[in-house]
Structure 1
Amino acid sequence: MAKDTAKEKGNGKGLNSVKTRLILVMMAVVVIPLLISIVVSYASSINKGLEDAMTINDSQAKIIEESFMASIDQQLRSLQAIADSPYTIEYIKNAQTRDDAKMIAYIAKVNENYNDGNAIVVSDVNGQQLVRDDGGKLSDIHERDYFQGAVKGQVFLSSVLISKATGSRIIIPAVPVYDYGYTSVIGIAQRSYDLSNLHTLLASNVKANQRTFITDKNGIVIARSDQEIKADDPDDNRSDRDFFKSVSAGTTSGTYVSNGDEKLIVSYRQEPNTGWIVVVSSDYNATMASAQRSAYIIVIVGVIMAVIAAVISFLMAKSFTEPLNEVNTALSHLAEGRFVNIEKFQNRKDEFGDMVNNTNSVLSVLDDIVKNIKESAVAVHKSSEDLAETADQISQTADDVSTAVQEIASGATQQADEIQSVTESVGEIDVATGNVQASTDDLSGLAGRMQSVSTDSAQSLSDLQESSQSMSEKIAQITEKIGATSKAVESINEKVEGITSIATQTNLLSLNASIEAARAGEAGKGFAVVAGEIGTLAENSRLMADEIRKEMDELLTSSQAAVEMAAEVQKGNEEQAQVLGATVDSVNAMIGDIASTVTGVKSIETDAGTCVNAKNVVADAMSSLSAISEENAASSEETGASMQELSATVTTLASSANTLKEIADKLSSDMEFFKD
């Protein structure tokens, strides 16, 4: 038992410990939601930082796009003003009246606001330059892309060119010059735009950790914020980049994270007029540093909270498990047979304090109970010894009495059996006498009923004989009536034949009348109608007479059949009367025999009653004697059985006393487990 207790104590270590499990559960309840919150917050911070960075990047690209397009638009507006000027239109159209000095002064006045060394040039519809504000050499430009685009009536920006005058990379915006009424293009106005201006623009609109550049519609970089592109620098083709592929697919703007050699946040926007693409890229790590710092702070705070939760969980688990350990120690002592009260935690006001106090109360009560059981076990042991001795003495006495009672019961039983045999014989006589008397009574009743029934039968046969005679008379009368009916039917048939003859004659007369009416013409039409109606009535009368004759024939046939059947019935009735006469004679003779039988049966009934009375006297005497013998035998058997039961009970009592003694010994031995 001590080994089992030690084993049970060993099971409370490690993960099997309530304290460890409680700490783990409390940590899980706190840390798991905390970890989820940290992960969600970290992801939200990173995603929000990335979203903000991408929004800023896109806004930066939009600002740059608007800035460089403002510069281009300003130049295009200046060129458009020159193209729309009537003086320019007249200058191009009328070669004979051209005033070059005045035209140069005009376009120089417009160009002086830029002061960047680039000239404004006006050309005719054939591509021949007509005038330059710087007085430079005039050229044929009909093969240039900007001329070909503008002469078609479109505002056009050329691809990147190298200026022969300055050696710089330039583009040439060109606008068409329309004739009056905008009916046709008569020339173009152009001005070079130095792309170094774009470098300055881009450099002034970027932040730290940002780079920006602009590509033309073919993906060639035309300006960069981090360096100025020289005329002899090779083309930087970026048509293989994701932004250019997206623009080529129809997406004019967007922002994405590039995971190349350097992780970047890239925003791009395509300018709709020029097709140029403004790209702003920011260093991902530098841009997201602030968001990552915020996320790291959240993680650190979460870790600190987890540590605090762990400390609180440990303290709470300790406060829970220490009272449990004390209770477990007390129960361990109890398992070893010692009652040791718990001294700690008795003043706690929570459930654990109640548990400690209740455990002490249970231990005190158990201690008292064990002491009482020990004392009771000693008393039971002594009493069981005395009871066993007394039971042995009673058992011996009961056995002697039981033997004597059994001998008395055996004699009484034999006497009762003999009396019972005599009683059964008297009973058989009683049954036989009863059967004879019952049979005699039945026979007497049967003879009386037979005499009464025979008398009634004789009277019924007499009545039947008279009824048969009356029936014969009635059948004769019916036969006479049916014969009279047949004669009447024959008379009706004769009269029907007369009606049929009259109807036939009437029909012939009607036919003759119709013929005469037809001969009379118009005057006989009314008579013809009447004759037709008479003919119709005659025909109907003939048909009805035929039907009556058929019915009368059937009635006559039925009457003749009825006469024949009545004759047969009368013959059968006469034969029945003869049989009834013979039957009446036989019944009268039987009535006399039945009267003699009734007299004999009454004599037998009287003698049977005398036998029954004598049998009843003998049966009553034997029944009384049998009952007395049976009661004596039963009393003896009951007394013997009671003595046997008493002997068995005393034997059981002695056995129980011995068992009780053994139990008391075992209880005393078990109580030795508990120490004082």
Structure 2
Amino acid sequence: MGFYNKRKSIRTKMLLVFLPILLVATGAIAAVSVTDAKSALEKQIEERVGKELTAIYESIEHEFTAHEKVAEAVASVYRAKGNTLEKSDYKVMLEELVTMNQNTLGSGLWLEPNKFSPEDYYFGPYVYRDGDSILYTEDYETEEYDYPSTDWYLAGKAIKEDSVWTSPYFDETTGITMITTSLPIISSGGFQGVVTADYDLSTIQGRIGEVQLGETGYAFLLDQEGLYIAHEDEEKVMKVNITEEEEMKGLAVKISEAPYGKAPVTLNGKDFDAYYLTLASTGWKLVVMAPIDELYSAVDAMVLKGAIVAFAVLLLGSLLISLYSASLTKGIKGFVHNLSFLAEGDFTKPVEVKTKDELGQMGESYNQVLKDLRTMVEQVSGNAEEMAELTELLARTSGEASHVSDEVAKTIEEIAKGASDQALDTEVTAEKVYDMGKLMEEDEKELRNLNTAAMAIEKEKVEGFETLKKLVEKTEESSRATEEIHQSILKNNLSAEKIDKASSMIQNISDQTNLLALNAAIEAARAGEAGRGFSVVAEEIRKLAEQSGTFSSDIKNDIKELKENSITAVKVMEKVVEIISDQESSVHTTEEKFESIASSIDDIRKVLRLLNGSSLKMNENKEKIIELTQNLSAISEENAAGTEEASAAIEEQAATINEIAASGEKLQLISNRLKELIEKFKI
């Protein structure tokens, strides 16, 4: 602040004030613009990456779903046909299904030992692709391979429904990375076996390898253990785990803790934002690496432009402030020159006004003040002479007033003595009357309390009657509601019997439907390939019939329990009716007691009305006596006080007259000095 005050130039002060404001304003505008632009860009990047992730995710899930349909079709046929089909029939079916999905490498039907026939301990027909050919083999139906002990078979056996996927593995013979889905075959006879379908991951690996964000952005796919399944660097595929890479360990922890999200990663000195999500079917992690410097390069260019604009604004602001301050300083210097004449007492030098801005208005105001000062000095000079003449007259008049005041003071002292004696007598009388009034007020207070209590009792009586009336109505409503509930329970009992009969009819229909479904399955088996689809429908109808039978049995048990509860409820309602009858009798007795209490309360209110009338008359007489006594006392006190005040006023008046005389002498001296000062001004 000291440094600022030492500056004499207005131009410098204006630069010091306005340049920081311009700097802060332009900086704030640039910062807000960059922040908004960065936020918008971040949103666009997240949307772009999100769409890319979603597209890859949906394509992978679609591939896996289509692949699972192969295994589901095999399992569905076996559940419908079972061992009625020959192994050759299943061979033909597998060959047709494998060709339905181009990425399905092979499929097999693997049954529990001796499940297909007592002679065949192993049953595992398998069909697979070899180039453009579809080949069939039974080489896995051996004791050496023993497929019931393999991981994929045990995994399928461990689940009750849906399917399970194995971890991805690399087949060195074909040079293909693949994965196997295992689907259990569950029928009414329990676990029958497992259907497998092998999937070629090459298409998915190629799809992920094609992803590119900017110049260096890419995507990769991890299995549940963190092993690279797909990556732009083929040397890492099925060989490197993400946890083995030092720079990727932080990302590995992040993606293991959440199903989806975003995490920062620094890789080879370059910053990335890693967006990831989890595949629902396999639990694998799909990750997209977005390069931050490439995606946010537009923000850096905006920051540079903002700095250039801010510098240009500061330069232009400095120029405008310098030009304006030069013009302002010129006008102020002329005004300061005229103020020096005013400081010396010369009121004959007005300011020359050339503009109509704030400086021009200030010059006009200065000229008006100068004019007013000249007029004021002239008036003060004339008044000073008149003041000198008046002070002489004031001195003579104050001496005569002092003598008259002494005589009036003696007379007032005698009057004050008599008024004081009268006030003492009146005060004693007023105290006696006040004590009597106090006693009457206490009586009146007790009477008011008695009235309040009577009114409270009356209110309680009315509320009691209202409550009793409501209680009688509620009792009657309760009695009617109880009867309605009793009738409803009897109707529910009849409805339960009707539902029992309907349930028996549903059970019969279910048995017949089950029989029809069985016949349909037999006929479909006889029809062969033409009846394959119909056999699946027949199996579903049989399941629905079994479920209908189960539901019918549950309904019968519920109806039996409902009928037992209804009988118990009827007995309880009969007891409730007896209780409500007793309650009605008690309510009527209470009503009679309330009527007797109400009659007694009316008698008490009559006596209280008489007491209230007498109390009001006594209170009116008391108030009149107290009012008269107080008026008399007040008059006496006012007389005594008035005389005392008059005496004091006379004394003060005498003292004031003496002071006026002294002030007159001082005022005369002041008027003489004022004349000397006015003579110094030039008007």
Q: TM-score range by the shorter chain?
A: 0.3 to 0.5
The TM-score, its normalising length taken from structure 1, stands at 0.45
The TM-score, its normalising length taken from structure 2, stands at 0.45
